[in-house]
């Protein structure tokens, strides 16, 4: 009996503390409850993040559905002989956890745009398109086209199986690190905005029209 007395006293003391009301709630309830809430919150947060990751969420907005999504459907990243698809989040939300959070915070800005109507018509979308595309190019340039490389690895690229133009370009500029995917593959998933100010994309066609208007009359 004496052997057990001390641990029993400890237990009882512990139990008293556990159920003793703090100010309003038992401290034990607070600790345990807090822990459980933490588990639920974390899980729920994760699930919510997964849900926003799904393509269905992205194309819930008409700007996304009627422009970029409609265009994606005819490209190789939507249908191809292998049946492997790239969805919006594959190219637009980095898989890395911290980057993911950062992108979500930025995404709130888009929700803002939706509510306050910055880009609520196809015309406004077209007008903003170069800005939006440039943001994406800058992001992909900065992360060395991370999203592309999540699926296409340079190590697994067999250039003997590629077309001559692809093999030459990849060997000369990609493998040497001079260029990254997005430098050469702009417009891989959507229609491009007006490219006349983007380097390597050519100037628009010229007509013989001179500043004084002479020569502009006849269509060429």
Partner 1 sequence: MRRILLLALAAALPCLAMAADRPAYTGAPVPEVQPAAPIAKETTDDKRRSRNYPDQPPVIPHAIRDYQLDLNANKCLTCHGRENTEASQAPMISITHFQDREGQTLGAVSPRRYFCTQCHVPQSDARPRIDNLFQDVDRTIRNAQPTEQRK
In the complex, what is the shortest distance from the CB of residue 218 to ligand HEC, in angstroms, rounded to a whole number?
A: 17
In the complex, what is the shortest distance from the CB of residue 129 to partner 1, in angstroms, rounded to a whole number?
A: 9
CB neighbour list of residue 59: distance below 8 Å, 6 or more residues apart: 65, 69, 88
Residues that bind partner 1 (CB under 8 A): 74-76, 163-165, 168-169, 173, 187-188, 191-195, 200-208, 218, 220
Report the partner that residue 201 touches, choosing among partner 1, ligand HEC, none (CB closer than 5 to 8 A by kind): partner 1
> Of 31 and 46, which CB lies nearer to ligand HEC in the complex structure?
46
Residues that bind ligand HEC (CB under 6 A): 52, 55, 57-61, 63-64, 68-69, 72, 76-77, 80-82, 84, 86, 88-93, 109-111, 113-114, 118-119, 129, 132-133, 135-137, 145, 147-152, 154, 162-166, 169-170, 173-174, 179-190, 192
Report the partner that residue 203 touches, choosing among ligand HEC, partner 1, none (CB closer than 5 to 8 A by kind): partner 1
CA 2 to chain centre: 66
Burial status of residue 193 (CB atoms within 10 A of its CB: 0-12, 13-18, 19 or more): buried
Rounded distance, CA 89 to CA 189, Å? Answer: 13
Report the partner that residue 104 touches, choosing among ligand HEC, partner 1, none (CB closer than 5 to 8 A by kind): none
Report the partner that residue 89 touches, choosing among ligand HEC, partner 1, none (CB closer than 5 to 8 A by kind): ligand HEC
Query: b/e string for 71-107 if b means 16 or more Cβ within 10 A?
Result: ebeeeebeeeeeeeebbbbbbbbbeeeeeeeebeeee
Rounded distance, CA 151 to CA 148, Å? Answer: 6
Rounded distance, CA 44 to CA 42, Å? Answer: 5
């Amino acid at each position: 009996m004496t052997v057990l007395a001390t641990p029993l006293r400890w237990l009882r003391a512990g139990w008293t503390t556990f159920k003793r009301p703090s100010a309003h709630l038992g401290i034990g309830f607070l600790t345990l409850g807090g822990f459980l809430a933490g588990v639920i919150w974390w899980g729920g947060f994760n699930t919510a993040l997964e849900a926003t990751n799904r393509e269905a969420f992205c194309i819930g907005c008409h700007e996304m559905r009627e422009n970029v999504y409609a265009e994606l459907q005819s490209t190789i990243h939507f249908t191809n002989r292998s049946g492997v698809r790239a969805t919006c989040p594959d190219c637009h939300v980095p898989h890395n956890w911290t980057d993911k959070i950062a992108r979500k915070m930025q995404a709130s800005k888009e929700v803002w745009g939706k509510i306050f109507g910055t880009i609520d018509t196809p015309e406004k979308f077209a007008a903003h398109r170069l800005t939006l595309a440039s943001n994406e190019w800058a992001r992909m340039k900065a992360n060395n086209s991370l999203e592309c490389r999540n699926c296409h690895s340079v190590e697994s690229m067999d250039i003997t199986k590629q077309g001559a133009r692809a093999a030459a370009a990849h060997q000369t500029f990609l493998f040497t690190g001079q260029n990254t995917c997005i430098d050469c593959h702009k417009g891989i998933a959507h229609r491009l905005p007006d490219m006349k100010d983007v380097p390597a994309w050519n100037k628009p066609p010229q007509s013989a029209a001179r500043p004084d208007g002479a020569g502009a009359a006849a269509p060429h």
